[in-house]
Amino acid sequence: MKRSDYPTVESYAALESTSSQSTPTTASLFDKLTIIRYLRSYFSHTFPLFQWINRYNVPWFCQDLIAGMTVGVITVPQAMAYARLANLDPQYGLYTSFAGTTLYCLFGTSKDISVGPITTVSLLVGQTISEVLQKHPTISAEQVGAILALIAGFIALVIGLMRLGILVDFIPGPAVGGYMTGSAITIALSQLPALNGTSDLVDTHQPPFKVLYDFITHLSSTCPDIIFGLLSLIALYIIKISCVQHTASTEGKETNHVFYYLGIMRAGLVVVIGTTLSYMVHHTSADEPIRVIKTVPSGFDALGVPALDKQIIHDTMHVIPPMIMMLVMEHVSVAKTFGRLSNYTVDPSQEIVSIGMCNIASAFFGGYPCTGAFSRTAIMNRSGARTPLAAAFSGFMLILALFVLTPAFYYIPDAVLAAIVIHAVSDLVSSPTYLEELWKARAVDFWIWVVAVGVAFVTDVEKGIYAAVGLALASLLFDIARPEIMNNVTSPSNNNQYLLHCPEDILVFRPGQSILYPNASHLSDSILQIVKTQTSPGAINDDNQEQIQADQAWNECRSLLSSQQRQISLSAIVIDMCAVQQIDATALQTLIGLRANIDAYAGHPVRWVFVDVKKSVHEKLKAFGFVPWQTNNSSMDSVVDISSSGGSVYFFRDMQTAMMSMERWQ
């Protein structure tokens, strides 16, 4: 055997290469399985953390740590204040915040979101807890809060997994603004008794206007708490305004950051000072001159599986829909806002998944419903968070508060927490500029806002939400059912040239939107009425006028046309479909009936001309009998259908071509 006959290294390499190309690997086999690819993609979308965690680095860690700890310091006093608003002890606000901030980084797609209790949801939870405890005094408030979180979380999770984030788009801005303003007014009024120490005398679970009346009635019973409450509220606004002004005037300077952090930590600063003064007052006085929150258990005292109670579930189901709307609207709108500001994309459906998981976790930690908070998210963004992991570092600060700082919480005055809540909700009130914009844009949008605020003020926030959303949907349906129908259109739909001549016997219409079942009948009636107003019924002359009068319908109170109008016999109906993106079966059947009615009125088959028809709409027209059988070979590029049940039907790409063709018909 010759030496050249032995295989060389190169031949072995070539053989291995050929073998590797022809022999499928396990990975390649899995990649070819559609279900595996789908599951891998779905898992990646459900847990976005795994899309970026392999690129995590030290600079990102440092920035996330700073931002997360900054927000954590702010979250502690807010969480305790919001828990009191929810008729729960302060520690339950901390449990809620910890569950939300820790779980969000696994499921969220926003680097800035801070999940935890918010004022509007806390108010709704507090109202619900009061209602349930009145019916069932043996049930605990924290049990109601946990069940609300569990139910709301499960429903939100289902909505997110089914990728139904589009549902958020059905709730308009004026309704959201109205419910936010109504909530702010309700919350502020409910905190006034705690601010001046008369919370034992005023029932804050009444409608807001009654709370205001009772508060004014008991002003004479004001306690020393008012000193702590008013001074705290004034201090919060002074620090906020001063720091904002100084930060704006010293942009780029070293002191800018100092005043920025002083401004965002003003709530914590006020709590520290108020607690110190409260401690001094209590230790120099024989009794308790001001109300304090007292003992806060250390650690996760309520950790465990939520105890489901049929009575609680039954009595809280009515509040679940508005609560879901609040949770989803607040969170998705905040996530989208800061996504646009920082130039990254958020997935609304995945954000709803994250809210669902955070609320389910909150229930197991003993918390209550939570969502993304605008104020804390803004601070997270400004503090330089780089990934969703920043929220987890806020959780470390909450652990520190729960395991180390709880003894110091004993002397926090109730009035100080009330001041923090009132200060926080002031940002929820719609500005006069916003209301002016609503009025100028569309009066009905302004009235949607007014209804939301008014109903919330005289009843409660839940009914305010229902009223605003109901009015908004009614307005939407009315707009769909009564679209603008332009008659005698004088300009083509796709260029700026004007039609110089449109024969009198041709009527041109342009629907203002898609033709669907709510507006199909209105569109048909409007077109038929215009046809009867502007053209003659059949061939009117002096000989047959009396016969036509006799044949006129009993409920048609229109007098016969003038001698000039009698000469106008309708020859064609032109419908510019440029704004019609969709058409349904009801609308198609209505068009068929309209065509028959017009033919009967005119006394002869009338040509129908459709201009600028979308492909999907054209296919549906064909399916309902407008089947083309002949195509013009001229430059007009039109499709003609000769129907035995009526006149010819034409389809043109643009109005100019349609008018050129119809001029040749004369």
Q: pLDDT by residue (tens digit) across 240-290?
A: 999 888 877 766 666 677 888 888 889 999 999 999 999 999 888 777 889
pLDDT at 645: 43
pLDDT at 205: 82
pLDDT at 483: 78
CB neighbours of 441 closer than 8 A, spacing ≥ 6?
none
Domains and CATH numbers, the chain: 3-49 (no CATH), 50-476 (no CATH), 485-538+566-665 (3.30.750.24)
pLDDT at 258: 81
pLDDT at 484: 72
pLDDT at 629: 37
C-alpha–C-alpha distance, residues 101 and 116, integer Å: 7
pLDDT at 16: 45
C-beta of residue 497 within 8 angstroms of C-beta of residue 655: no
pLDDT at 102: 93
Backbone angles phi, psi at 607, to 5 degrees: -70, 140
pTM exceeding 0.85: no
Which residue(s) pair with 538 in the sheet? none
Q: Which residues of 1-26 are buried (b: 16+ CB within 10 A; e: fewer)?
A: eeeeeeeeeeeeeeeeeeeeeeeeee
Distance of CA 556 to the CA centre of its chain: 47
C-beta of residue 570 within 8 angstroms of C-beta of residue 535: yes
Name the 3-class secondary structure at 116. strand
| Residues of the chain where predicted confidence (pLDDT) is lower than 70 | 1-34, 37, 250-255, 487-501, 539-567, 625-647, 665-666
pLDDT at 255: 66
pLDDT at 26: 52
pLDDT at 490: 46
Provide the sign of the torsion angle of the four alpha carbons 657, 661, 662, 663, taken in this order.
positive
C-alpha–C-alpha distance, residues 21 and 436, integer Å: 69
C-alpha–C-alpha distance, residues 58 and 279, integer Å: 42
Q: Are strands 572-576 and 371-372 parallel, antiparallel or unpaired?
A: unpaired
pLDDT at 512: 86
CB neighbours of 161 closer than 8 A, spacing ≥ 6?
46, 353
Distance of CA 555 to the CA centre of its chain: 47
pLDDT at 53: 87
